[in-house]
Structure 1
Amino acid sequence: MNYIVLDLEWNQCPDGKENENKKLPFEIIEIGAVKLDSNFHKISEFSELIKPCVYGEIHYKTKEVIQLNMEELNSAKTFTQVCQSFLKWCGQDYIFATWGSMDLTELQRNMKYYGLKYEFNYPLKYYDIQKVFSLFFEEAKAKRTLEYAVVYLNIKREYDFHKAIYDAYYAGKILSLIDSDFLQNNESIDYYKPPQSREDEIFIQYKRYSKYVSKAFASKEEAMSDKEVTSMKCHCCNRNLKRKIRWFSINSKIHYALGYCEEHGYMKCKIRMKKNDEDKYFVIKTIKAVNEEEGLLIRTKREDLRLKRRLKRKNKKEHPSEFNI
């Protein structure tokens, strides 16, 4: 299997978010990619600029980052032409690798906008090199910049950053320095096309945790009333967990719970709410083994949240005028 190390550059509405095309907030203007074999040796590369059709000017923030102008872009091929060439260049047996989690989502969103049909693998697994870099080299979850990682690993700086093909080149160099087994145990899933039905739902058992991706629901409340969504099973043996702390929300998107397995100990359960393109909600649930101290942190988080809510209710009762607009 080959690795397609992909990097995209995109533009956004120059007149502000309120005037953007809601179906295409980010318009891809450059595709760069490096194809590596299973031993991380370079096979070939792909690099093309794209003529913008939605936003006729470059946003000032985009100008600060990339070294492109409208004259160059207007003489380029269209997205449809470039994307078709890119997908053909990818071949058959490959897995994507990107710096961060946005590139594949925006690629598919642009493809949908222009009516391009292509069947990616389902679920669409890929390697988030940014995430894996932090986990492997720093044992942390910090989101480092590509330039930071290049300096950290003493990779020779041969090109400027923020040109798609050069960023893909550097990302490929970083990828080649990560242990293959570690990489395989830390793959990511792209959520642009979440499950459409119960039968399509995703269950994956990793070495360190398990992941479940649900079908879409009309509301967050409907999602949290679903038995499969709120079920708690040990990621090691798949047995039902004893509920030590029931599901509680820290905001409108994230819920936590704590379970206990007689054989494998405490399990931290986390739910993230996501919205799809149809404005429906789906759930990403992860369950991970933790020690007693980490389990206590979840309990503390819940108690702190309860205290804050009690104080807010008390203040509202004592000073109602401050809460009336």
Structure 2
Amino acid sequence: MKDYIVLDLEWNQSAGGKDEAVEHLPFEIIEIGAVKLNEAMEEVGEFKRLIRPRIYPELHEKILEVTHMDEKTLIQEGRNFEEAVKDFLTWCGEEAVFCTWGSMDLTELQRNMAYYGILNPFPKPFLYYDVQKLYSLLYGDGKDRQSLDIAVLEQQVMEDRPFHRALDDAHYTGRILYKMDFMKVREYWSTDYYRLPENKDEEVYLVFPGYSKYISRPFETKQDAIGDKTVTDLICCKCNRMLRKKIRWFSVNQKFYTALGCCPEHGHVKGKIRMRRCDDGRVYVVKTMRLVGEEEIPEIYEKKEETRKKRVEKTRVRKINKKKGDSPLS
């Protein structure tokens, strides 16, 4: 039987701002909270540890405001992170399926583990359930993300316990999982991006109802990434057929690229490439390929035309400025 581990973390950050932050560790975990659910999404256990801050011993004012923690309690009752995370992983067991509200907790857990030299036990790719995303798929448009407190009110699972403490938020997230029709959305896994594919053989291709996702290895530059054939291939998310592009890849802001292809069996497929930065400054790609209806196609053509006009205008301005610079009167 699977155990679903609903995890929530509280963390601190540099009270002196980014200039005084430790490189590659912007957030130091100060509390781990989790509940264990069985396959019926019933709560069968809980875990809580306060962690003594060592990297950022002074609590940031925003953390004090939101969590109402105090430094004295953390120092007196908190454990070392190494001890706390070891206890947590043992409590989780080997068959754990992780669930979080949002996409940051598992990344920050691994980042803190790496800082302390703790062996990362999680698989690659690391799949988990983002309950916030699942909630949007069931009760929203699948894009907008609702805050936990609003979801709790909407589902009428409010209890006499606060928000913004790790165990309490984990408990509320578990209650949302119990209330929702999980079977309708259980195929919509999320992928944690902290540990990326190290080479081409490890690159990830996942298939979901209606769309697919590709996660690349890191590239030195954006140009290297967009020049890779696997990155720019457009594939049908239903039959895995290589598609001829009706609209070639274009970008408005150099972070997102869009293309359109047509599968003779399943119809139009929209490709979207998102460029993301690794901690070491390199670039990796998350590409989604999604079936789209006829009503969405004009919007893609409009965006491409908008991009073309901006490019033409940018070229025109550059030529004017160059002429001004070449003028003997300038």
TM over 0.5: yes
1:217-232 equivalences in 2 (<5 Å): 217-232=219-234
What is the CA–CA distance in structure 2 between the aligned matches of 1:91 and 1:319, rounded to whole Å? 64
Of 140, 143, 146, the match for 2:145:
143
The within-5 A match list for 1:40-51 is 40-51=41-52
Per-residue deviation, 1:322: 11
Mapped to 1, the partners of 2:255 and 2:122 lie a distance apart of 28
What is the 5 A alignment of 1:293-312?
A: 293-312=295-314
- The corresponding residue for 1:171 is 173
SS where residue 45 of structure 1 aligns? strand
Contact map agreement 1:316 1:322 (CA 8 A) in 2: no
Q: Deviations over 1:187-212 (max 9, x none)?
A: 10101001001111111111121111
Question: What residue number does 2:117 align with?
Answer: 115
Which one is further off, 42-51 or 181-190? Answer: 181-190
Q: Is the 8 A contact 1:80 1:116 kept in 2?
A: yes
Q: Could you list the per-position Cα deviations for residues 110-168 of structure 1 after superposition, in whole angstroms to 9, with x for gaps in the alignment?
A: 00001111321221110101111111112331121100101111112321100100000
Q: Which amino acid aligns with 2:184?
A: F
Corresponding residue pairs, total: 323
Question: How does 1:306-321 map onto structure 2 within 5 Å?
Answer: 306-318=308-320
2:81 corresponds to: 79
Match of 1:194 in 2: 196
| Aligned twin of 1:35 | 36
Residues 321 and 55 (structure 1 numbering): CA distance in 2 closer, same or farther, change over 3 Å? farther
Structure 2: gaps spanning 5 or more residues:
326-330
Cα deviations by residue, 1:30-82 (Å, 9 ceiling, x for unpaired): 00000001111111000111000111211112122111011011121111110
Instruction: Tell me whether 1:24 sits opposite 2:62 in the alignment.
Output: no
- What is the 5 A alignment of 1:124-273? 124-273=126-275
Please state whether the residue corresponding to 1:176 is helix, strand or coil.
helix
- 1:62 maps to amino acid: I
Shift of 1:297: 1.2
Give me the whole-angstrom Cα distance separating, in 1, the residues matched to 2:323 and 2:156.
Answer: 59
- Asked whether the 8 Å contact 2:110–2:120 carries over to 1, the reply is no
Q: Is the 8 Å Cα contact of residues 127 and 183 (structure 1) preserved in structure 2?
A: no
Amino acid of the structure 2 residue aligned with 1:149: A
| Contact 2:114-2:120 within 8 A present in 1 as well | no
Distance in 1 of aligned mates of 2:150 and 2:252: 32
Gap runs ≥5 in structure 1:
none
Aligned Cα RMSD in Å?
1.7
Counterpart CA distance in 2 for 1:91 and 1:217 is 35
In 1: Cα distance, 2:198 partner to 2:144 partner: 32
Q: Extract structure 1 runs of 4+ deviating beyond 4 A.
A: 315-323
CA contact (8 A) 2:137 2:185 kept: no
Q: Taking structure 1 as the reference length, what is the TM-score of the superposition? A: 0.95
Deviates more, 1:118-127 or 1:226-235: 118-127
8 Å contact kept, 2:6–2:173: yes
The Cα offsets for residues 229-278 of structure 1, whole Å up to 9 and x where unpaired, read as 11111111111112111111122321111111111111110111122233
Q: Quote the sequence identity (%).
A: 44
Equivalents in 1 of 2:142, 2:71: separation in Å? Answer: 40
When normalised by structure 2's length, the TM-score is 0.94
Helix, strand or coil for the counterpart of 1:130?
A: helix
Distance in 2 between the 1:42 and 1:157 partners?
15
Give me the whole-angstrom Cα distance separating, in 2, the residues matched to 1:221 and 1:246.
Answer: 16
Residue type at the aligned position of 1:73: L
User: What amino acid sits opposite 1:11 in the alignment?
Assistant: N
